[in-house]
A and B are shown apart, each in its own frame.
Chain A
Amino acid sequence: MVEKPVQEEKRVFMTGNEVVAWAALAAKADIMYGYPITPQNEIMHYWTRMAPKYGKKFLQTEDELSAGFTTLGGVLAGKKAFTATAGPGNTLMQEPMSMAEMMRIPSVVIIQQRGGPSTATVIYSQQEVTMTTYGGNGEGFRIVYSTASHQDVFDYTIKAFNTAWKYRFPTFVLGDGYQAKMRESLTIYDPEDRGIELLEPEPFFGKQAVNGEKQPLHIRNTYNTEEELYEVLSRYMDEYMKVAPEIVEYHQFDCDDAEIVVVSHGVVSRAAKGAVQELRKEGYKVGYFRPITLRPFPAEQLRAVADKTKTLLFVESAFGQLAKLAQQAIFGSTVGVENLFKPGVGVTSEEIVARVKAMV
Chain B
Amino acid sequence: MTTVPQMPKSWRLESKPHKFCPGCGHGLVLKALGEVIDELGIQDRVAFGCDIGCSLLAWDFFNVDTVQTHHGRTTPVMTGLKRANPDIVCIAYMGDGGGYAIGSQHLVNAAARNERITAILVNNCNYAMTGGQMAPTTLPGMKTETTPYGRDVEQTGYPTQGPEMVAAITREGAYVARGTIANLKQLKSYLKKALENQMAGNGFSFVEALSTCPTNWRTNAKDTWAFVEKEMPKYFKVGEIKNPAVKEGE
Interface residues of A (CB under 8 A from B): 30-31, 33, 57, 59, 61-63, 65-66, 68-74, 76-79, 81, 95-96, 99, 103, 203-209, 214, 216-222
Closest chain-B Cβ to A151's Cβ sits at a distance in Å of 30
- Give Cα A95–Cα B47 distance, bound, in whole angstroms: 22
Q: Which of B70-86 contact A (CB under 8 A)?
A: 70, 73, 76-85
The answer, among A65, A203, A208, A218, for a CB contact under 8 Å with B59, is A218
The answer, among B59, B65, B84, B109, for a CB contact under 8 Å with A81, is B84
Count of A-B contacts with CB under 8 A? Answer: 128
Bitwise interface map of B from 51 to 94 toward A, beta carbon under 8 Å scored 1, else 0 = 01000100110111111111001001111111111011000000
Task: Say if the beta carbon of B105 comes within 8 Å of chain A.
Answer: yes
Q: Quick check: B45 and A72 within 8 Å, CB to CB?
A: no
Kindly name the residue among B47, B80, B109 whose own CB sees the greatest number of chain A CB atoms within 10 A.
Answer: B80
- Residues of chain B within 8 A (CB-CB) of A96 are 70, 73
Q: Quick check: A74 and B84 within 8 Å, CB to CB?
A: yes
Closest chain-A Cβ to B12's Cβ sits at a distance in Å of 8
Q: Quick check: A73 and B59 within 8 Å, CB to CB?
A: no
A73-B78, A216-B63 given; 13 more Cβ-contact pairs under 8 Å? A33-B83, A59-B80, A65-B105, A69-B76, A73-B80, A73-B84, A74-B81, A76-B84, A77-B80, A81-B84, A205-B85, A206-B87, A217-B65
Q: Quick check: B83 and A76 within 8 Å, CB to CB?
A: no
Q: Quick check: B88 and A221 within 8 Å, CB to CB?
A: no
Closest chain-B Cβ to A32's Cβ sits at a distance in Å of 11
Task: Say if the beta carbon of B38 comes within 8 Å of chain A.
Answer: no
Q: Quick check: A219 and B67 within 8 Å, CB to CB?
A: yes
Closest chain-A Cβ to B223's Cβ sits at a distance in Å of 30
Known contacts A71-B80, A73-B76; A66 and B70 CB within 8 A of each other: no
- Give Cα A78–Cα B40 distance, bound, in whole angstroms: 25
- Residues of chain A within 8 A (CB-CB) of B85 are 77-79, 203, 205-206
Smallest CB gap from A219: residue in B: B67
Smallest CB gap from A31: residue in B: B84
Kindly name the residue among B47, B62, B83 whose own CB sees the greatest number of chain A CB atoms within 10 A.
Answer: B83
Task: Say if the beta carbon of B242 comes within 8 Å of chain A.
Answer: no
Q: Quick check: B66 and A70 within 8 Å, CB to CB?
A: no
Q: Quick check: B64 and A69 within 8 Å, CB to CB?
A: no
- Residues of chain A within 8 A (CB-CB) of B109 are 61-62, 66
Closest chain-B Cβ to A40's Cβ sits at a distance in Å of 19
- Residues of chain A within 8 A (CB-CB) of B64 are 216
Closest chain-A Cβ to B238's Cβ sits at a distance in Å of 29
Task: Say if the beta carbon of B143 comes within 8 Å of chain A.
Answer: no
The answer, among B47, B59, B62, B73, for a CB contact under 8 Å with A205, is B47
Q: Quick check: A77 and B84 within 8 Å, CB to CB?
A: yes
- Residues of chain A within 8 A (CB-CB) of B87 are 206
Known contacts A78-B85, A99-B70; A63 and B105 CB within 8 A of each other: yes
- Residues of chain A within 8 A (CB-CB) of B44 are 208-209, 214
Task: Say if the beta carbon of B188 comes within 8 Å of chain A.
Answer: no
Task: Say if the beta carbon of B106 comes within 8 Å of chain A.
Answer: yes
- Give Cα A31–Cα B221 distance, bound, in whole angstroms: 50
- Residues of chain B within 8 A (CB-CB) of A69 are 69-70, 73, 76-77, 80, 106
Closest chain-A Cβ to B58's Cβ sits at a distance in Å of 10
Closest chain-B Cβ to A313's Cβ sits at a distance in Å of 42
- Residues of chain B within 8 A (CB-CB) of A206 are 45, 47, 65, 81, 85, 87-88
Closest chain-B Cβ to A311's Cβ sits at a distance in Å of 45
- Give Cα A72–Cα B82 distance, bound, in whole angstroms: 11
- Residues of chain B within 8 A (CB-CB) of A76 are 47, 67, 77, 80-81, 84
Smallest CB gap from B15: residue in A: A218
The answer, among B67, B68, B73, B83, for a CB contact under 8 Å with A59, is B83
Q: Quick check: A222 and B56 within 8 Å, CB to CB?
A: yes
